[in-house]
Amino acid sequence: MTDKKFLFSESNLTKIKNETGKRVIVFDTKQPGLALRIMPSGSKTFCLMAWDANRKRSTDVTIGAYPKVRLDDARELSRELSSHLAAGVDIVGQSQAEREVPTLDQAFDRWVLKKEQKGRTSWNIDRQRHDKHISPRFGSMRVDDITPQQIENWFLSFPKKSGLSTTSANRLLVIIRTVYNQELRQYPNPCEGISLNREESRERFLRPAEVPALFDALASEETPGYLRDFVFLGLYTGARRANLLGMRWADIDFDLGTWTIPAGDSKNRTSMTLPLIPAAMEILERRWQDNQQNVRSSIFVFPAVSSLGKTGHMNDIRDSWGALLQRAGVTDFRLHDLRRSLGSWQTITGASTAVVGKSLGHKSTQATQVYARMHLDPIRQSVQKAVDAMQAARMAPSRVIRMNSGKK
């Protein structure tokens, strides 16, 4: 390579090689200041090399890698940068600022790491949603390049492609909106003004006729012990899936028979104490003894199977849950429906709205005034009554139990 200045063309830029073992710079005779850096590795990068009157020295601003950046585009960008430079614009500082703008993937990683460090149990679900649905479309884009129109088109496409429900699409939009609100306050939020899909209230719970089949499937040797315990604790406590998966031994009071969910793990951001009926205590006492005897004892009631897990506790039991439902012949029943089932059976057995709300940790101004004066014993009694009714349904599947018509 002898010529350091020649007319750039797609042909000669493709053929040009660097055999010197050092960095080589060649200039375009058509566009002043446009240069091509060629590294010993063979990589080629367009840049503008010109005199900066403000800095009183030569400046070097990267335009982009060749051939990702086409020659015509490089010349156009070089002209724009030269014009800005002549007008006194600090193009070096501007270029550095642009390089510091994060991609959405980078911003999400910072946001989800903070959630994990705070002990929020939902971070892993957010990570799965991001990796599967958000990152492929927007992950590599700079956060100041993402437009509301792009977000809206992507958001509205989900019910039509991939079969994602409108409710699940809402969760994705909320993730992006929250990342901008909490991590990217200096940039316009492209989610603003986009309305969430209307969500229909789900009323599915374990019906009396389904109780025997599900309980028999749970008792089967085919059902893993952890899943059996998880499902029963879900029915006995009405706790959310994430809270059950992240249940810690330190939050269980074996003397009082209570489980306190810390404010940081609660959906309502307030600590919540749930009464534990004897059947729930039996499960926990047995698992506690097993945990104490295990070489790899854990702080969690449902520890991760592998030590490689980031949370230390189980995160996903959907496969084993699906297999259980298939054996039981129960359809359209989600893990969250365990929680709804307890509240529904409490209602069936005559519990008041206030008692059900307290059992499930619902938050409302009106009900709080009642809850503040309420002792845990009536709650525990109501939970026990609901569980007894489920057990009765299992033993007498042909018995018809009159359902309360009120919606909860």
CATH superfamily assigned to domain 208-395: Intergrase catalytic core (1.10.443.10)
Helices vs strands, H then E, count in the chain: 17, 8
d(CA 281, CA 194): 46
In this prediction, residue 316 has a pLDDT band, given cuts at 50, 70 and 90, of: confident
- Res 248: pLDDT: 94
- Res 346: pLDDT: 76
Which 3 state secondary structure label does DSSP give 134?
A: helix
Model pLDDT for residues 43-54, shown as the tens digit of each residue: 899 998 888 777
pLDDT at residue 373 greater than cutoff 70: no
- Six-digit token string for 191: 């989610």
Which 3 state secondary structure label does DSSP give 17?
A: coil
Name the one residue in this structure whose structure tokens are 């050092």: 22
d(CA 43, CA 33): 20
Q: What is the mean pLDDT of the chain?
A: 81
- Sequence-distant (6+) residues with CB within 8 A of 47 are 34, 35, 36, 37, 60, 61, 62, 63
The helix (H) or strand (E) run that includes residue 44 is: strand 44-52
* Alpha helices by DSSP H, 47-103: 71-86, 91-99
For range 39-66, the mean pLDDT: 84
d(CA 337, CA 113): 29
Residue type (1 letter), 278: P
What is the fold of 5-99? Double Stranded RNA Binding Domain (3.30.160)
142 strand-pairing partners: 103
- Sequence-distant (6+) residues with CB within 8 A of 277 are 236, 257, 380, 383, 384, 387
For range 196-208, the mean pLDDT: 72
DSSP string, 328-346: HT--S--THHHHHHHHHHH
pLDDT at residue 205 greater than cutoff 80: no
Task: Decide if 115 contacts 122 (C-beta within 8 A).
Answer: yes
For range 351-362, the mean pLDDT: 71
Count other Cβ atoms within 10 Å, centred on residue 58. Answer: 9
Q: What's the chain's Rg over C-alpha atoms? A: 31
- Res 296: pLDDT: 75
pLDDT at residue 404 greater than cutoff 60: no
377 phi and psi, to 5 degrees?
A: -60, -45
pLDDT at residue 98 greater than cutoff 60: no
Task: Decide if 154 contacts 164 (C-beta within 8 A).
Answer: no
Q: Which residues of 227-242 are buried (b: 16+ CB within 10 A; e: fewer)?
A: bbbbbbbbbbbbbbbb
User: What's the start-to-end Cα distance of the chain, in Å?
Assistant: 79
- Six-digit token string for 38: 């060629």
Model pLDDT for residues 213-233, shown as the tens digit of each residue: 888 999 999 999 999 999 999
Least confident of 2-11, 34-43, 110-119: 110-119
368 strand-pairing partners: none
In this prediction, residue 309 has a pLDDT band, given cuts at 50, 70 and 90, of: low
Task: Decide if 382 contacts 351 (C-beta within 8 A).
Answer: yes
Task: Decide if 333 contacts 218 (C-beta within 8 A).
Answer: no
- Sequence-distant (6+) residues with CB within 8 A of 241 are 234, 335, 336, 339
